[in-house]
A and B are shown apart, each in its own frame.
Chain A
Amino acid sequence: MKAVIMAGGFGTRMQPLTCNIPKPMVPLMNRPIMLHIVELLKKHGITDLVMLLYHQPSVIKNFFRDGADLGVRITYVTPLEDMGTAGAVKCAEKYLDERFLIISGDLLTDFNLQKVIDFHESNKALATITLTSVKDPLQFGVVITDKEKRITQFLEKPGWGEVISDTINTGIYVLEPEIFKFIPEGENFDFSQDLFPLLLKKKSALFGFPVKGYWRDIGNTDSYREAHHDILKGKVGVKVDEPRREMAGVDLRVGVDVRLGEGTVVEGTVVVGDNSQIQGGAEIKDSVIGRNCIIEPGAKLTRAVVWDNVYIKKSAKINDCVICNNVSVGPATVMEEGGVVADDTAIGEESYIKRDVKIWPRKLIEAGSTVTGNLIWGERWKKSLFEGEMIKGLTNIELTPEFVAKLGCAYGTSLPKGSHVLVGRDTTLSSRMLKRSFLGGILSAGVNVRDIRMVSLPVLRYKLRTFGEVGGVHFRQSLEDPATTEIVFLDADGLDFSSAMGKNIERIFYKENFRRAHHMEPGGITELPQVMDFYREGFFRGLDQQLIRGSKAKVVIDFNHSPAGQILPQILNDLGCEVIGLNTYLDEQRGSKTVDEKPNSLQQLAKIVMTLEARAGFWLDPTVEEVVLVDETGRIYQPEEYLALMTTLMLKSGARGAFAVPVSAPSVIEEIAQENGSSVRRTKSMDRAMIEAAISPEVVMAGSMTGRFAFPKFQAAFDGMFTIAKTIELSSATGVPLSRVLKEVPKSSFLQGKVPCVWEKKGGIMRKMSEDSLDKEASFIDGIKVSFGNDWVLVLPDQYQPVIHVVAEAKDARAAQRLLEEYMQKVERWKKELAQ
């Protein structure tokens, strides 16, 4: 008698356990599931086996080879395409010239197969289906038989109303070779859907034989875990390779070269694979541990299934989870029941993996993370959602609609019930999709939304300064990576979120401590069609309109397909300017331009400015905050040059007060300001710090080192549209070309560099820098800035990247270069010292 083992499935429902291996090879008690089937067949005297493979056949062939080691003879058959269950068996027809048994390669059963074969023979059946009774027959094929056990009816996956029996098809069949007459060649043909109904119709000798015993289809990860529980409880007997070790009250099976540390607590049934170490003080209960694993002291495993090469560090707690190959679990990590961690994943210390979370292969979970949802795509699970004022992630991969809906719910929960928030987005379809999901979440918390749809961030900020909303959110695609969505959170005054505000939302998000509105009280969505008119009014009030009108300026603006293209040309035309707009149309399909395209766009812009003899050219970034200036000669300004120019222009046009600039800005700003009786307020480089400074009554302008400006007379926020208008106004006031104004700006050499530095060393580097600066004149507003007379150098750790910035300024270019190099080398040296 021969047997066919069906081992061709993809194991899709078993993912992520089956991401790297075929389902029949998934280990059950440290042995492939299919090996238990081979043992069962052998036990009943069936040693001539045909294995039907399809998905990753080599993995199975490499393990079983010709079967000689196991005392069986194996023939492999690999159909070239998916033929269905019966169709696949048809491919093995030439090996099946006598009665044969079919069994699935991913079953766990202890059925007495001989009884089935005997029944089949005594009834002279053409086909016998092995039946069993289950509590929940809904997910299986129900089979009805008459008194003689002849099959009378099939019900495939019935509803409860259709259930007239709890007897199901187990996927174990005994067949005569004549069966192949009923299976067409080269066609997709299934046993339960095609062949058996056909035999029933033709009134062939089709029987069903009910068998008592253990039977489980290991079809998904829950069933996989439950199969282990059943084995460990003794509900089903399977062969375990590891020999039993004597220990009172414990069923302990231990492989070769296993080290059990002193003080290890073992309870229930525990299996430990070859060459694994359980260090003293670990507690293991009802668990299976694979080969080459290390479990450190204080770790606590209950009902855990651990595969090979797994490192579980101190005090980690794992409850009813599966951990696949090559995984490291950080110290004090907690994994709730139902969790699955697939191959090649590293979980950082003190992480918290919530119930039923599945982490797919090759992921990195940052230390201190709380993982609340399945991590399938993307590489990292970040411990904090917010990066400053925003949350960013890969569109539809990290930031999926369901993730964002939950985020909206957390944000809504943080706000008073019945309050209003203002929400807008950029031109892209991705932003629209995610924004809509987010709105659902907010509404579910009983918070209302004023949707101003496609709008630039400065306009949204402007509206927020008035009454009515408790906060604002803007969706946009990242400039650095168009596949990334950025969700910018603003407070009630239109300012960027502070870190405390972000933390509050994170707490609610991770604890899932959501406020769900009563079904009669969800929030509502309204629109504010007049927002643009309001913005335009304020815009005009903030400018000297007469002056601009009189100058009849001609300017070229690259709008980068941003929403600004819909409003700024009209505003400037109304002010008597001639605007040559580039990329003004909105293209939802195309999305915004990327950083890579910027240099080309700037060159193009410079050319057009010169050709048209325009007064200036402006490159407006898609976020409508940042501007790059091109003067009438076609010169493209560096951000620090634009900052110095604007300061000069403001002072020339009579503005007096304070200028807010970051610590890293050139000191020529002070020089220019002091000459004109004004002052400079140095701030941290974070946007919020600059804008907070801009709110102070004496500040007339805040300027960043990225080409972003805020003019508090209009609004204390970075606004690229207003920056363009203000530049035109100021240049009109001075009446001289921009290139001439720049010539008046005191010259200095300003250089910037970056040193890569891992997060863990950033603090150490800054300590070394502060020790190094003890006897020097230093300021500590943001990073450490050391002055040498008029020259200075700044060492500043990046907020979000593993990078240390070094900035140097000196009157003399060579001195600046020397300073920059000296301090970059120092940072490199400190990095090495810290590594020792």
Chain B
Amino acid sequence: MAKLLVVDDEANIRLLYSQELSDEGYQVVTAGSALEAVEKLESESFDLAVIDIKLKNESGIELLQRIVKERHTIPVILCTAFSCYKDDFSAWLADGYVVKSSDLQELKDEIARVLAKRQRGAYV
């Protein structure tokens, strides 16, 4: 069972994602801030992280950069209400980019795609 870290500053979103993704068969851990996410990443291992770009006063992209720089091997999907960050090259470090929607299918598909890619060994 793949273990996911969902980072979002909105509690309801964390709850929604947690329930929906658990129903999909994933083990889901949530974090409400970048700091909390870093703590969890240091103490537990994850197969994938789903990160919101706007985290109150913090930036999800900075969290993404930190994950990449510290050579974590976990793939990251950026999940945001804004499509404009697709053009920000810092965001290209991510493995996927999903624009938030009430229909979570796209996110689920993207998680499945990235995990399959990971299984093929595309991450070092």
Interface residues of A (CB under 8 A from B): 463, 466-468, 493, 528, 530-531, 533-534, 537-538, 541, 695-697, 699, 712-713, 716
Whole-angstrom distance between the Cβ of B89 and the nearest chain A Cβ: 4
Query: Across the interface, do B97 and A468 meet the contact criterion of CB distance under 8 Å?
Result: yes
Measured between alpha carbons, how far is A712 from B123 in the docked complex, in Å? Answer: 9
Query: Across the interface, do A695 and B120 meet the contact criterion of CB distance under 8 Å?
Result: yes
Chain A's closest residue to B94 (CB) is A467
Q: Considering the complex, which residues of chain B in the window 97-124 have a beta carbon less than 8 Å from any beta carbon of chain A?
A: 97, 117, 120-124
B59 close to chain A: CB less than 8 A:
no
Query: Across the interface, do B120 and A541 meet the contact criterion of CB distance under 8 Å?
Result: no
Query: Across the interface, do B92 and A466 meet the contact criterion of CB distance under 8 Å?
Result: yes
Query: Across the interface, do B69 and A713 meet the contact criterion of CB distance under 8 Å?
Result: no
**Known: A533-B89, A534-B89. Is A466-B121 also a contact (CB below 8 A)?**
no
Report B-chain residues with C-beta under 8 Å of the C-beta of A466: 92-95
Which of A466, A712, A713 neighbours the largest number of chain B CB atoms within 10 Å of its CB? A466
Among A467, A493, A541, A699, the residue within 8 A (CB) of B97 is A467
Report B-chain residues with C-beta under 8 Å of the C-beta of A531: 89
Query: Across the interface, do A463 and B92 meet the contact criterion of CB distance under 8 Å?
Result: yes
Measured between alpha carbons, how far is A713 from B95 in the docked complex, in Å? Answer: 16
**Known: A530-B89, A533-B89. Is A695-B96 also a contact (CB below 8 A)?**
no
Query: Across the interface, do A697 and B124 meet the contact criterion of CB distance under 8 Å?
Result: yes
Measured between alpha carbons, how far is A534 from B93 in the docked complex, in Å? Answer: 8
Number of interchain pairs (Cβ within 8 Å): 42
**Which 7 pairs of residues, A with B, have the shortest CB-CB distance?**
A530-B89, A534-B89, A466-B92, A467-B97, A696-B121, A712-B124, A467-B96
Whole-angstrom distance between the Cβ of A681 and the nearest chain B Cβ: 12
Chain B's closest residue to A536 (CB) is B89
Report B-chain residues with C-beta under 8 Å of the C-beta of A541: 68-69
Measured between alpha carbons, how far is A528 from B120 in the docked complex, in Å? Answer: 29
Query: Across the interface, do A697 and B94 meet the contact criterion of CB distance under 8 Å?
Result: no
Report A-chain residues with C-beta under 8 Å of the C-beta of B117: 493
Query: Across the interface, do A695 and B122 meet the contact criterion of CB distance under 8 Å?
Result: yes
Report A-chain residues with C-beta under 8 Å of the C-beta of B73: 697
Chain B's closest residue to A462 (CB) is B92
Report B-chain residues with C-beta under 8 Å of the C-beta of A533: 89
Query: Across the interface, do A468 and B92 meet the contact criterion of CB distance under 8 Å?
Result: yes
Measured between alpha carbons, how far is A493 from B86 in the docked complex, in Å? Answer: 17
Query: Across the interface, do A695 and B97 meet the contact criterion of CB distance under 8 Å?
Result: no
Chain B's closest residue to A530 (CB) is B89
- 27 A–B contacts from the bound complex (CB under 8 Å): A463-B92, A466-B92, A466-B93, A466-B94, A466-B95, A467-B86, A467-B92, A467-B94, A467-B95, A468-B97, A493-B117, A528-B87, A530-B87, A530-B88, A530-B89, A531-B89, A534-B92, A537-B89, A541-B68, A541-B69, A695-B120, A695-B122, A696-B121, A697-B73, A697-B121, A697-B124, A716-B124
Whole-angstrom distance between the Cβ of B118 and the nearest chain A Cβ: 10
Whole-angstrom distance between the Cβ of A631 and the nearest chain B Cβ: 30
Query: Across the interface, do A695 and B121 meet the contact criterion of CB distance under 8 Å?
Result: yes
Report B-chain residues with C-beta under 8 Å of the C-beta of A463: 92
Further pairs besides A695-B120, A716-B122: 18, Cβ < 8 Å: A466-B92, A466-B95, A467-B86, A467-B92, A467-B94, A467-B95, A467-B97, A468-B86, A493-B117, A530-B89, A531-B89, A537-B89, A538-B93, A541-B68, A695-B124, A697-B123, A699-B124, A713-B124
Chain A's closest residue to B118 (CB) is A697
Chain B's closest residue to A534 (CB) is B89
Query: Across the interface, do B122 and A493 meet the contact criterion of CB distance under 8 Å?
Result: yes
Report B-chain residues with C-beta under 8 Å of the C-beta of A530: 87-89
Measured between alpha carbons, how far is A528 from B92 in the docked complex, in Å? Answer: 11
Whole-angstrom distance between the Cβ of B120 and the nearest chain A Cβ: 7
Whole-angstrom distance between the Cβ of A717 and the nearest chain B Cβ: 12
Measured between alpha carbons, how far is A699 from B120 in the docked complex, in Å? Answer: 14
Q: Considering the complex, which residues of chain B in the window 53-91 have a beta carbon less than 8 Å from any beta carbon of chain A?
A: 68-69, 73, 86-89
Report B-chain residues with C-beta under 8 Å of the C-beta of A534: 89, 92
Report A-chain residues with C-beta under 8 Å of the C-beta of B94: 466-467
Whole-angstrom distance between the Cβ of B18 and the nearest chain A Cβ: 23
Measured between alpha carbons, how far is A463 from B121 in the docked complex, in Å? Answer: 18
Which of A463, A467, A537, A697 neighbours the largest number of chain B CB atoms within 10 Å of its CB? A467
